[in-house]
Amino acid sequence: MYISTRGNSPERTGKEVIALGMVPAGGLFVPKVIPEINWRELITLSYPDLARTLLKLYLPEFPDSTLDQAVSVYRPELFCSENPAPLVQVGKMGILELWHGPTSAFKDMALQVLPHLLKESIQSLVKVDKVLILVATSGDTGKAALEGFRNIPGIEIAVFYPENGVSAVQERQMTTTEGNNTYVIAVNGNFDECQSKVKEIFGSKEMKEDFQNGKYAFSSANSINWGRLLPQIVYYFWAYLQAVAKAQIKAGELMNVVVPTGNFGNILAAYYAKKMGLPIKELICASNQNNVLTEFFQTGVYNRQRPFYLTTSPSMDILISSNFERFLYEMSDRDEEKIKTWYEDLRSKGKFEVDQQTLTKAKDFVKAGWANEDAVKETIHTVYNEQSYVLDPHTAVAVKVYQDYVKLSGDSTYTIVASTANPFKFAGTVLQSIKPELIIENEWENLTQLSALTGWEIPKGLRGLDKKTVQKVEKTSPSEIPQLLRKMFL
């Protein structure tokens, strides 16, 4: 069963929380009990079998046939090989490549699964003809969600992205999606404004009633939806099993995990894996110049009233990390009153400060750091020159933060870095870092240049993007999103 971080919802089943997306009155669903499992029992499993086993722990009411169908997505046709998330040794680090799916980003690992879970869950919503999925994206979630839900009967999906706030490749991926149920909207604002307005719609009684009259229910494909977050837990177990199989660590030995973090969902999945019994020592949270999380772990103050930077790692250009609420709920010993107070302060004052006990516990679980733009480029350059390995800017943030952590701590524990995007999604930035004289104005030519330089293949999903037909893109401001949705769907 699932409960709300703010204590404002009855206990719900897995089907209900996936169908709803987030708590209708505000807040996020969390499992009432985090199940434990002995990782040694998982050693012989394939990735689909591992995923099925872990999903079943959290979704016992789902039929085996649905879970079988959900995990069948992890096949070579979609993820390039039998191993959808290979662990690659780069120097002393293990790089967990999470970008072999159809959209070349880690979001595919969950967003190929979520449609199967949501289809099964819709039946728990009463008197609804269609589900309207609302997605705010800082770059990668949008395309992965559009691809996952494309042409699925009974589902419409609207994706909102910050105009001029994503890479050229990310934007073209979204705007060339084919599907009779997909809608893409460019918002004149930043990601936080998109995300805040979408969450506001979920909590709006008026919007809900209007759309229910039109036989629609709202749901989400962002990581505020438990069905999106849950499949992400799987690949941390997979990383550990690979590290043991490759003799990088001995069975039972601890490993560290470094995650480039924007909305805090990916690192939260690693936290749940640790709570379930995976031998993780340190969780290391890596931020770019929008380092609101790093500051929190230093001071206990979460302050979104700060400059917003557009960086070369746009998927992390976020000041309101939605999944952080789930983490603070656990760190405060599940004190829903504290969560309500803090998030009301964030809404009304733009910041909140946690008590010392909560901060101490949070710092015990997570180490945090950040990397500026120069450091990101230098890291891409150095790793390529020394290891012949190509990092995208988000993964480079994580590698730099990990290097800084080792210098400060002297910690020699084996460490895996979650690599969240294929470098070709950010070819211009990567070329600029490795060999700037090769860069040209045309981003599509930069993909070819990067491939010629490195010998790496351009991913199938990115080839010929510039030749594809761009679908109609609506344009709006954050405040006009509700009005636009009414016009589009009612």
Tens-place pLDDT, residues 22-72: 998 899 999 999 999 999 999 999 999 999 999 999 999 999 999 999 999
Quick one: pLDDT at residue 345? 97
DSSP letter assigned to residue 211: H
Q: What is the spatial distance between Cα 302 and Cα 320, in angstroms, rounded to a whole number?
A: 9
Nearest to 144 by CA among 194, 189, 78: 78
Residue 127: pLDDT band (50, 70, 90) is: low
Known catalytic residues are: 107
| DSSP 8-state code for residue 460 | G
Spatial contact of 258 and 416, defined as CB atoms under 8 Å apart: yes
Pairing label, strands 2-4, 280-287: unpaired
DSSP 468: S
462-482 pLDDT per residue, tens: 999 999 999 989 999 999 999
pLDDT for 126:
59
- Higher model confidence: residue 241 or residue 125? 241
pLDDT computed for residue 63 by the predictor: 95
Rg (CA), the chain: 21
pLDDT in tens, 391-425: 999 999 999 999 999 999 999 999 999 999 999 99
What confidence tier does 215 reach under pLDDT thresholds 50, 70, 90? Answer: confident
pLDDT tens track for 177-202:
989 999 999 999 999 999 999 999 99
pLDDT, tens only, 10-20: 999 999 999 99
What pLDDT is stored for residue 214 in this prediction? 77
Which pLDDT band holds residue 5 (cuts at 50, 70, 90)?
very high
**Whole-number percent of the chain with pLDDT over 70:** 99
Residue 386's CB: how many other CB atoms inside 10 A? 10
Asked if residue 128 has pLDDT above 80, the reply is no
CA distance 283 to 259: 8
Confidence of residue 130 (pLDDT cuts 50, 70, 90): confident
Q: What is the pLDDT of residue 442?
A: 87
Mean pLDDT of the chain: 95
Amino acid residing at 367: K
Which domains, ranges and CATH numbers included, belong to the chain?
Answer: 34-79+106-221+470-489 (3.40.50.1100), 87-105+227-462 (3.40.50.1100)
Please list the residues that pair with 286 across neighbouring strands.
Answer: 260, 369
CB 201: neighbour CB atoms within 10 A?
Answer: 18
Distance CA 413, CA 22 (A): 37
